Amino acid sequence: MKHKKVKPALLITLLACIGIGSLFLLTRVQPYPDPVDNIGSPPPQPAPDITAGEQGTAGEQGTVASIAPLPRLSEEKAVKEFFDSLTVGDFFHNVPETMQVNVQTKIEAGLAEEATDEVLSRLDIEGDVTIERSAVRYDPMGTEVILWADDEAFRVSPIKSGRQTVFSEDEQFWSWNVTPLKAGNHLIVLKAKVEFSPKDSNQTYPREFVTFESKRPVRANIPYSFRQFIANNLGEFLGLTIGPASVAGFVTWWATRRREKAKAIAETKKVIGFAASYTSQGSQKGK
């Protein structure tokens, strides 16, 4: 059998077709990753659950953990800028160094850009005034000074309170009647309260600045304490010292005394009537 001789041109064309086909297959088929190359790489993350609801707890099917709404950054920034821009001024008060039980004291406190003698004279603050320079932040458009005291140690009655504007040449003060209720060292606190409401927001942000905080000694009031003791314990005191039998004896004695006094008055009237009758008879015989 004779073999036909293959022409060189046909052989070259055949080899070229085989090479082109091999390159095409290599570009379409992805090789398997080598496990050694993936050591230390993070595991693939699952796709997010697009069926999650708006509220729920993590781990429940179809839900995700709920997140509390955060304040808007613009609102938070506005609040910070407001409190950072508050006016810094002087604070003054007349809290006494010592107090006495049941002796009412009028405490006054105020704010001013500068607490001068002229300002204090115009406000007519009573007693010795203490000035704290550049000690308080306040809002000229509206600030309130609050007096706090233990209600078991003091009885506080506001005289002038609430939110007030504090402008230059229009300084303000607040006042309270404070009556100590018991002896000892008791805390008194004065605070400046400022509130801010951002534009287009229903939220109000209050902040308090402590301007005075001190324990004041309260002296005992002996006459007042004695009267209070008697008033609070009069019934028990009478029951222990007099007793039911003594009370009954006192009532009997008082009734007997009234009867004896009435009897003595009746006998006196009888004697006077007899004497008058006897005198009248003697006069008739003489005629």
- What's the rounded Cα separation, in Å, for the pair 167 and 17? 96
**Vertex 243 angle, CA 241 and 249, to 5°:** 115
Q: What is the pLDDT of residue 35?
A: 46
0.85 surpassed by pTM: no
- Measured CA to CA, the distance from residue 158 to residue 147 in angstroms comes to 9
Give me the residue spans of the domains in the chain. 77-220, 221-255
Using DSSP's 3-state secondary structure scheme, residue 77 falls into helix
The confidence score (pLDDT) of residue 170 equals 80
Burial class from Cβ neighbours inside 10 Å (0-12, 13-18, 19+) for residue 57 reads exposed
Q: For the stretch 8-45, what's the b/e string if a residue is b when 16 or more beta carbons lie within 10 angstroms of its beta carbon?
A: eeeeeeeeeeeeeeeeeeeeeeeeeeeeeeeeeeeeee
Q: Per residue of the chain (287 residues), what is the pLDDT tens digit? A: 544 554 566 667 667 667 666 665 555 555 545 444 554 555 555 555 444 444 444 444 433 444 445 456 688 889 999 999 999 999 999 999 999 999 999 999 999 999 999 999 889 988 899 999 998 999 999 999 999 999 999 999 999 999 999 988 788 999 999 999 999 999 999 999 999 998 888 899 999 999 999 999 999 988 776 666 677 766 655 555 555 556 666 667 767 877 887 777 777 766 666 555 655 555 555 55
Q: How many CB atoms lie within 10 A of CB 71?
A: 13
CATH of domain 77-220: 2.60.40.10
Q: Write down how long the chain is.
A: 287
Q: Which residues contact 103 (CB under 8 A, 6 or more apart)?
A: 179, 180, 221
- Distance from the first to the final alpha carbon of the chain: 217
- Please give the pLDDT value at position 92: 96
